[in-house]
Structure 1
Amino acid sequence: MTGDLPGWKQVFVEDFSAGDVPLGGFPGPLYSAKWSAGYKDGTPDTAAQRSGKKARSGYYPSKVLSVRNGALDWYLHSENGISMGAAPTPRIPNASSNPPRANSLLHGRYSVRYRGDAIAGFKTAWLLWPDSGVWPRDGEVDFPEGDLASIIYGAAHFARNGRDAFEKLDSDQYVTSWHVATMEWSPGRIEFFLDGQSLGVSTKAPKTPMHLILQTESCLTGCPAPAARGHLSLDWISVWVPA
């Protein structure tokens, strides 16, 4: 987790050892220098944006995020018929964009140790999103991705005839055990690793600066049951740039 690697220089690491933060208080004074809570309460998530209807799901960091037992915790649940996720964002120092912006990189190595409860209807889509905001033209990379009751996979999105297409690389693992998920983004390729084993390489790698968002949401393959609830935990995260 800590330190440079052959070909990679570490630029960000977080293990949430600074102390606990109560539900709704993240990032708070302990973590605000290195984190943002991401989208504000009530922001529609991907499923709500696609449906174009009144949101049944969305981002609610004040209802979801805390730090407990040395990990960033998502309390995934529903209130008043709305399933709630959150998308915290690390502030990764860099100079990849012009002018420089926090959390923007052109190529990098991203690694997380995480686990979750098997809550059908909630999913991780921890992703690299283009700084340009032009999608699908400038691509997207998701890893770890998957419904919390299904297998973990990685996906590299790209534009085909102006529409979204993607390459999907599956694992045979579930989130209910601790896993280390790593993506290595280099010119012309992105490789996905789970617990040190390669899931494969996609040549559909982005060519423009991207920023990392730990997007955790619901309702993309069916919404969770009203009483469904549980936790997703991030033990640590580490980021490197090409040395």
Structure 2
Amino acid sequence: MTPEPSAAADPAAASEAMPVGDLPGWTQVFAEDFTEGDVGLGGFPGPVYGARWSENYFDGTPDTAAQQQPKGQRTSGYYPTKVLSVHDGFMDMFLHSENGVAMGAAPSPKLFGANQRPYNSLVYGRYSVRFKADVLPGFKLAWLLWPDSKNWPADGEIDFPEGDLSKVMYAAVHGLENGIHDNEVLRPNVPYGDWHTATTEWRADGIEFFLDGKSLGVSRRFTPTNPMHYILQTESCGPVCPSPETSGHVLVDWVAIWAKS
């Protein structure tokens, strides 16, 4: 089924500034523009951002590609202490290789409920991020919603933006159809390299994706109904690994999240 377009624009992309406040039908539960202070490489989230951010993996945790490689021969992984920092109002992901291992990271925002205790997941939500990624062959984004149950693909997966940083970005929704894993992909055919605002709007009636304020369409084929959490998963070797000399940055200007009202 062809995704249905929407005439609605993304209000989160109305300007370059981080959107603050509720939207019609949505209650804001998270807003981060990285202006609370700088954090050097190896110190994120630290005391400055620790109440609002977590890193999902310790240094050396295999990423998606490395999980399929023999132990001792892994060419990629998560290394947050060598990748993540904050400066000049941006989260900086320094993507590079050391000793033949390409390094990424996967930070997650912590959301807050009415009792001000942190939680990470929602059922239905609106996720916006403003970012700029250098063109880096072999490194990739898979910024995603992942099921709390870890029951994949039965409980779904939502990715946007996704794709090798030397190619074009896309959105993808995963699920089961007749007991077999399948996915639906929406392709705006927009390359990385410039500033973009990407929004995922996960609703009961489908998942709508926006890029720079323009709807890419609504995916209704697989719509998760169980809690999911948001991860800025940044990795490599999917399937081609970056050259050892390839290095650069992904800058995140802000992240804003809303729960369904």
Contact map agreement 2:143 2:160 (CA 8 A) in 1:
yes
Contact map agreement 2:131 2:195 (CA 8 A) in 1:
yes
CA drift at 1:102: 1.3
Aligned CA distance change for structure 1 residues 26 and 226 (closer, same or farther; 3 Å): same
> Of the candidates 102, 116, 129, which is equivalent to residue 133 of structure 2?
116
TM-score (norm 2): 0.89
Q: SS in structure 1 opposite 2:91?
A: strand
Deviations 1:52-91 (A, max 9, x none): 4532100000000000111001000000000000000110
How many residue pairs match? The answer is 239
Gaps of 5+ in 1: none
Contact map agreement 1:73 1:233 (CA 8 A) in 2:
yes
| Partner Cα separation in structure 1 for residue 30 and residue 236 of structure 2 | 28
Q: SS in structure 2 opposite 1:208?
A: coil
For 2:78, the equivalent position in structure 1 comes to: 59
Q: SS in structure 2 opposite 1:44?
A: coil
> Of the candidates 238, 247, 250, which is equivalent to residue 220 of structure 1?
238
Contact map agreement 1:125 1:146 (CA 8 A) in 2:
yes
For 1:79, the equivalent position in structure 2 comes to: 98
> Of the candidates 25, 32, 37, which is equivalent to residue 55 of structure 2?
37
For 1:156, the equivalent position in structure 2 comes to: 173
CA drift at 1:50: 2.6
Contact map agreement 1:89 1:214 (CA 8 A) in 2:
yes
| Partner Cα separation in structure 2 for residue 123 and residue 194 of structure 1 | 18
Contact map agreement 2:110 2:118 (CA 8 A) in 1:
no
Contact map agreement 1:47 1:220 (CA 8 A) in 2:
yes
| Partner Cα separation in structure 2 for residue 94 and residue 211 of structure 1 | 14
| Partner Cα separation in structure 1 for residue 174 and residue 129 of structure 2 | 21
For 2:164, the equivalent position in structure 1 comes to: 147
Deviates more, 1:114-123 or 1:172-181: 172-181
Alignment of 1:25 with 2:46, yes or no, is: no
Alignment of 1:210 with 2:228, yes or no, is: yes
Gaps of 5+ in 2: 1-18
| Partner Cα separation in structure 1 for residue 20 and residue 54 of structure 2 | 22
Alignment of 1:198 with 2:186, yes or no, is: no
For 2:151, the equivalent position in structure 1 comes to: 134
Contact map agreement 1:139 1:205 (CA 8 A) in 2:
yes
For 2:123, the equivalent position in structure 1 comes to: 106
Alignment of 1:2 with 2:12, yes or no, is: no
Contact map agreement 1:136 1:162 (CA 8 A) in 2:
no
| Partner Cα separation in structure 1 for residue 138 and residue 160 of structure 2 | 18
Deviations 1:179-225 (A, max 9, x none): 00001001130000000101111111111110111100000130001
| Partner Cα separation in structure 1 for residue 119 and residue 22 of structure 2 | 20
Letter in 2 for 1:213: I
For 2:31, the equivalent position in structure 1 comes to: 13
| Partner Cα separation in structure 1 for residue 21 and residue 177 of structure 2 | 38
| Partner Cα separation in structure 1 for residue 74 and residue 140 of structure 2 | 17
Letter in 2 for 1:73: D
CA drift at 1:152: 1.3
TM-score (norm 1): 0.95
Deviations 1:24-63 (A, max 9, x none): 1000111000001221100000001133453210000000
| Partner Cα separation in structure 2 for residue 52 and residue 207 of structure 1 | 35
Identity %: 58
Letter in 2 for 1:166: N
Letter in 1 for 2:97: S
